Amino acid sequence: MSGDAQIEQVAADDLDPGRMPRHVAIVMDGNGRWAKKKGRPRQVGHRAGVHTVREIVKAASELGIEVLTLFAFSTENWNRPKWEVTSLMRLIIQSIRGEIAEINRNNVKITVSGRWDELPAANQQAIMFALKKTGHNTGLKLNLALNYGGRREIIEATRRIAEDIQEGKLTPDAINEPLFESYLYTAGLPDPDLFIRTSGEMRISNFLLYQLAYTEIVVSPVLWPEFTRQHFYQTIREYQSRERRFGRTGDQMSH
């Protein structure tokens, strides 16, 4: 996305409802830089980012998107200063409990990808509460990537397959893409059609390494706390302007 696209106004009506991505995955980058720019502590940036999450979840729900995956906490985030990790854990609890009524009103179902069983007990309790409270909802699936790492996901899936082969539950000949995908954290979810990263960083940061094989990538220069509904619409319009070939030629796609 160019700087000009950043200020261009795009509305939901400008989008093609027939070409909406089923699954959008977002790396919500730039909270710390936003806070630094304003001379505020990093945790203020993370809190501001929660307001953006609320707005984008509403927008995705209204557009009829099936899955929205947000990279909320990575396995690498444990390496941040202890005070920041503690602050993030507390914010996750507050956000889940504070937003659950609105999430239910919007018929949003919360799912989680990652080793959330390794989070502090209070976080696990908040997540279990959210899963139970929204389990019956039939609208947008809000998939939170928590304590998530793409390489670890692939290694764990491989280990579990090896264990099942060792126990006689599987044979090596049974291993194919659908079977392998059933062992991933994202089992049951479609692969992302659109990957968005905010703040202009050109990397995927160990996020959904297997699932992003044919995903369209859009990088926005906007810091996450400043990422609006209009910016979200812009990324979707950019997605809709592309020809998805899945390894085929343009001529093949046009026939």
The per-residue pLDDT for range 122-139, each reduced to its tens digit, is 999 999 999 999 999 999
pLDDT in tens, 160-207: 999 999 999 999 999 999 999 999 999 999 999 999 999 999 999 999
pTM, whole model, 2 decimals?
0.92
Among residues 14, 16, 29, 31, which one is catalytic? Answer: 29
Give burial (CB, 10 Å; 0-12/13-18/19+) of 239.
Answer: buried
- Top-confidence residue, 227 or 252: 227
168 domain residue, yes or no: no
199 domain residue, yes or no: yes
Q: Quick one: pLDDT at residue 9?
A: 81
Between CA 25 and CA 217 the distance in angstroms is 10
pLDDT in tens, 2-25: 444 445 688 899 999 999 999 999
pLDDT at 27 over 50: yes
Task: Answer for the pair 92, 126: CB distance below 8 angstroms, yes or no.
Answer: yes
Give the chain's domain count: 1
Which residue segment(s) compose the domain that 116 sits in? 19-149+192-241
Q: Quick one: pLDDT at residue 10?
A: 87
Q: Quick one: pLDDT at residue 244?
A: 80
Between CA 148 and CA 72 the distance in angstroms is 8
Return the biggest CA–CA distance within the chain: 59
178 domain residue, yes or no: no
48 domain residue, yes or no: yes
154 domain residue, yes or no: no
54 domain residue, yes or no: yes
76 domain residue, yes or no: yes
Q: Active-site residue 14, yes or no?
A: no
Q: Active-site residue 29, yes or no?
A: yes
Among residues 4, 14, 31, 77, which one is catalytic? Answer: 77
Query: Residue 219's domain is classified under what CATH number?
Result: 3.40.1180.10
